[in-house]
Chains A and B, each alone.
Chain A
């Protein structure tokens, strides 16, 4: 297959539509609390459903949330006008069923709107009758593991339960099928007196481990909540030394000397635990390459929708070629239904991929039955593109009145 096969598909309409999803069904959901720096996450999370239509009847899907987080609908409306009338062959070089490069004309737009290329890969995959992952490379795994990423400072949401509030919700996640859970830590950063916050962080990991048992992966993420307190960070790492923590994420803001100390603590107290970071950057910034080259970073985490398939693929290739050992674990909070599916597709074709971040949201709009979730793993679909469609009757009845149309 070549790009010429894609000439027959011309983009003729784009819509962007807010779709609410809930941490549990509406009215029965739960509040996701604060992290080390930010107020309560809240009761729900919304997808800004991006639909890219072609005159041949294809629809590519993605989530425009990163752009809506940065600015507003007007910017997307203006910037996506140029897409109307474009052939599907114009965005990427495609050879032998693989995307091999991005067209320089579109590289800036795709760089700014990484999520756009998720919809384009969806379209290209459908046009070529290939799964989205196969546009990147061979399938390297049939299933992709997901971790529940919604265990925030639940102890401040349900104060009467204290640390146990997190353990209760971790147990619920395991009951629903997840085999890996990430705990938000970093209480010394803002909301607690620093020593009390460190004690609570340790107490929470202990409580969750005691509740979910030995077979569940526990990941922790401090959102840099130990910045300026390497003494407390050492206390924390020592405190969780025998609790089998899979990774420590953003314990401190990344810099070489502090990361050297963090690595020392890890090596001393919990040597199997990975050190991961990098969600807020595109991944090629100097500090990350320095950390990777010095062996201080076990996995890097740029955002899936901010990067999109192509930029992430290039990052993975660059890491591979550089010879460093760093793995890839895309940040994917805020990504909702479609971002998670993109993450799974990326993971299916990326050897260095570790695990998918799952916000565990309930949506009623999407149909993606091939992504079977069982024992913490999502099956990788073999249908073309992202293998997701929407319930059109539901969309027309509920969501269409809220859509913005570019045509």
Chain B
């Protein structure tokens, strides 16, 4: 008797940040809470695979999502979800490509369910662990200077110090204030002031990443000045300082060299069809060092394919994870554990609620999960208040 998926539920569950998150270069305040669209697929053996359909819900309605999930999963044999050879996943199961396309989140559910069904870790299904722990960076340092307006740049410095006190050893600061909310030069000045404030607050040993969400587009002169002034403050990576473009990235490489920076250049979260042409050009010309399509958006199969294409290029895997809530951290840890060139987990630091606790976090890094699948389960007590909004489908 084959093991089939007997029921699927989709439930919106709010996930909260530890504080209010402000703007980035282009988007108004993020706020204090987002919604995770939690998908649970239960098999006839009682195993349950979990993922989130947040990205799908950006584009479609619940009605459309349910129809897609029903077609993809309900009544499906668990063994048909993934193609596996010698205990390692090699691709989509028969006929599953069409369902996984543009819905990478579903492949993570497949790894979780297949892993739990077989009693093996999703890390092993991905080829086995390459690291013993996964470093994480705090990604919640938005334009907090606009929220606590009296403190200004120092507000970011103060919040960075709190993150370090909580155990994080790497921080990402949102930059690009001149992109929309401030005049370009004034924005650059505030960006520099924020980096100075944070470095002063956290000391020399904490890694600082900066991410401008393209906020320096059209202002390579200001970007050069910015790089010049923050390089002495020891920046680990520069992310999306400008829109992906070969000439622009050449200019950035020259700025880094001119000012003596050995920081990484990273981008790619906006690549919806990785690796698309312009990013391939940036990779081929060695103009970027890290590539960042979203972990849940592209899923484990998508990222396996990306990693294959990155082999030998020197470009490292740094999946984007913002917006993936509680679930995204589990998916990132599992992927990172099995990825040779993985750098660091983008950590939203959501307040825990509907999932079992994350692995232990020490010295700025997460331990690896030990259970089957993703090593995470639903905490039914935390889930119960949300069950009234559950959309249930049964085979």
Contact = CB atoms under 8 A, between A and B. Distances in A.
Interface of A: 18-20, 31, 34, 39-40, 42-44, 46, 68, 71-74, 77, 156-157, 159-160, 162, 189-194, 196, 397-399, 401-402, 404
Contacts of B186: 404
Nearest to A34: B35
Nearest to A394: B150
A9 to B, nearest CB: 27
Contacts of A398: 149-150
B99 interface: no
A156 B35 contact: yes
A18 B35 contact: no
A77 B184 CA distance: 11
A43 B31 contact: yes
Interface in B50-86: 57, 61-63, 66
Chain A contact residues: helix, strand, loop or mixed: mixed
A159 B180 contact: no
Contact of A71 (B149, B180, B386): B180
A18 B181 contact: yes
B183 interface: yes
B308 interface: no
A43 B32 contact: yes
19 contacts: A19-B149, A20-B149, A31-B33, A40-B31, A43-B32, A46-B28, A72-B179, A73-B180, A73-B182, A74-B184, A77-B183, A156-B12, A156-B14, A157-B14, A159-B13, A192-B62, A193-B391, A397-B150, A402-B152
A404 B190 CA distance: 13
B231 interface: no
A398 B146 CA distance: 11
B182 A404 contact: yes
A72 to B, nearest CB: 4
Contacts of B149: 18-20, 398-399, 401-402
**Interface size range on B against A:** 20 to 34
Given A31-B31, A191-B61, A402-B146, 18 more contacts: A18-B146, A18-B181, A31-B33, A40-B31, A42-B29, A42-B32, A43-B20, A46-B28, A74-B184, A159-B12, A159-B386, A160-B385, A162-B388, A193-B62, A193-B66, A401-B152, A402-B149, A404-B186
A403 to B, nearest CB: 10
Interface in B1-55: 12-14, 20, 28-35
A34 B12 CA distance: 12
A31 B61 contact: no
Contacts of A72: 179-181
B150 A20 contact: no
A152 to B, nearest CB: 12
B62 to A, nearest CB: 5
Interface in B170-221: 179-184, 186
Contacts of A43: 20, 29, 31-32
A20 B62 CA distance: 33
B147 interface: yes
A203 to B, nearest CB: 11
A209 B365 CA distance: 51
B259 to A, nearest CB: 26
A159 B385 contact: yes
Contact of A190 (B28, B62, B146, B182): B62
Nearest to B12: A156
Contacts of A40: 31, 33-35
Contacts of B14: 156-157, 159
Contacts of B389: 156, 159
Of B62, B66, B181, B182, chain A has the most CB atoms within 10 Å of the CB of B62
Given A74-B184, A159-B14, A189-B61, A39 B35 contact: yes
A192 B33 CA distance: 19
A396 to B, nearest CB: 11
For the complex of A and B, the 6 pairs showing the least CB-CB separation, nearest first, are A72-B180, A42-B31, A160-B385, A398-B150, A190-B61, A159-B386
